[in-house]
Amino acid sequence: MTEPKIFVLVGPGGVGKGTIAALLIERDPKLWLSRSWTTRPQRPGESDDAYVFVDREQFLNHVANEGFFEWAEFLGNLYGTPLPEPPSGHDVLLEIEVDGARQVVERQPDACVILLVPPSLEVQRERLRGRGDHESHVEARIAQGQLEVEQARSFATVEVVNNDLETAVDDVAGIVAGHRRS
Ligand code: 5GP
């Protein structure tokens, strides 16, 4: 049995990582999406399955027990990927921020890191507003996002512009297929 490959979607908030991850999973039955833990409060209308929602103490206990593959603090909340346990024959898809992605590459240098970038800052701003982020958070996330792109460029395997969603999903699916063959 070959080892599962690890694919990481990284990129600023509002770039469409979550949507692209969901569409990839629908298309590719051999891709398994990891479910993260977070201390962030659930957003209005956000699915109960979006994360395992925990308090800080529960999260830090899991850190102490070495239960995370990677974890990071992002705008005041903690986010972490539990040690991946994909069903047999599946590859792993992570949708995470840049510090976590760097940890994944350090742990597993052959992980494929796909950096998603928005076509423009204005489009990214509108996407953040559209999903119900507080206005006070939108500008912080835009600034954070620009930093993330800069940092991720130093270690990402490949970069994809999410201008048109279908095209971006096709591009990422092509990258996944190519990496599996390598
Ligand atoms: P949000 O609060 O918008 O759901 O997520 C904020 C950021 O945390 C996003 O960039 C998202 O990709 C990232 N994130 C989600 N889960 C994880 C995780 O398990 N680990 C890390 N490092 N980042 C995560």
- CB-ligand 1 contact for 79 (6 Å cutoff): yes
What residues contact residue 179 under an 8 Å CB cut-off, 6+ apart? 5, 7, 112, 157
Instruction: Compute how many other C-beta atoms are within 10 angstroms of the C-beta atom of residue 53.
Output: 14
Do the beta carbons of residue 35 and residue 142 sit within 8 Å? no
Whole-angstrom Cα Rg for the chain: 16
Instruction: In whole angstroms, give the CA distance from residue 115 to residue 101.
Output: 10
- Cα angle for residues 21, 26, 30 (degrees, 5° grid): 90
1-41 per-position pLDDT tens digit = 578 999 999 999 888 899 999 999 999 999 999 999 999 99
pLDDT band at residue 141 under the 50/70/90 scheme: confident
**What tens digit of pLDDT does each residue of 39-72 get?**
999 999 999 999 999 999 999 999 999 999 999 9
Q: How far apart are CA 99 and CA 141, in angstroms?
A: 15
Q: How far apart are CA 167 and CA 80, in angstroms?
A: 29
Atom of ligand 1 nearest to the CA of 148: 10
3-state secondary structure of 131: coil
pLDDT digits (tens, 9 = 90+) for 82-110: 999 999 999 999 999 999 999 999 999 99
Report the nearest-CA residue for atom 7 of ligand 1. 97
Which domains are delineated in the chain? 6-34+89-181 (3.40.50.300)
The three-state secondary structure class of 28 is coil
CA of 110 to the centre of ligand 1 (A): 21
